[in-house]
Amino acid sequence: MGNTSFSNTAIVACGTMSLELDRLREEGFLDTEHILYTTPGLHQDMNELEKQLLERVRKARQLAGQVIVVFGGKFCYVNAARPTRTMSTIIEELGPRVARIDATHCMDMIADEQQRRQIQQELAGGEPVWWMTPGWVKYRRAVFKDWDQAIANENFPRHTGGAIVLDAVGYLDRYMEQHPEEFLEYCDWMGIPMQAYPLTLDRFKGLLREQLQKLSA
């Protein structure tokens, strides 16, 4: 496992995950020279998401022998007009040498469902939680594009356990220290408190390694 190399692999990812992927590259785990990002928050715009994803994968295939797509499956692409068209369908259409990591959404890339239940119990006493990764904080304007206060009021307050940021890069602590007013304004807009839960990137590494092994088989 220690000799795992992504040097012949390009990564195509939602920009929301750039903090984690950049950290893995800094640490030397991702030795690829090619990480291509789509605009954060495109789960709200299916057409643009599919357009950018296809464009990035096409470019990635010109740069490397194989491509790993870092997008969730169940929640990142929901096509109401064509319910049978899923993220898995799109990946299959892209042909060989392209694989997507096995996760339902970006939070699932950092902590699996069982871990999230444990965290929910620990921090929120089992109350409903609004889950986020650091990218949801850094790229707030893109992730919540077109959300006004009315939409925020309809969605966030029902999560009586507050917002929990699954933070494997220490982003939220730095953000709170450097931009305290922005942080408080963000919480006020949501109408619920926000707190970080520190984790490692071990699960994310495992998911990436799993697809690399499948592509290299």
**pLDDT, position 1:** 43
Return the pLDDT at 160.
97
| One domain for residues 160 and 148 | yes
Q: CA-to-CA distance for 79 and 43, rounded, in angstroms?
A: 10
Q: Hey, what amino acid is at 11?
A: I
Distance CA 56, CA 203 (A): 25
According to the model, what pLDDT value does residue 76 have? 77
Q: Is 126 left (phi over 0), alpha (psi -120 to 50) or beta?
A: left
Tell the burial category of 27 from Cβ atoms under 10 Å away from its Cβ (0-12, 13-18, 19+).
exposed
Domain span at residue 14 reads: 9-107+201-216
Q: Is there a domain that residue 3 lies in?
A: no
Contact of 200 with 168, CB cutoff 8 Å:
yes
Instruction: Note the pLDDT of residue 134.
Output: 98
Q: How many domains does the chain have?
A: 2
**pLDDT for the residue numbered 44:** 76
Question: Block means of pLDDT (10 residues each) for the chain, length 217 residues?
Answer: 80 96 96 95 84 93 95 76 80 89 95 97 97 97 94 97 98 97 97 98 98 91
Asked if residue 66 and residue 153 are part of one domain, the reply reads no
In a domain, 1, yes or no: no
Quote the pLDDT of residue 2. Answer: 47
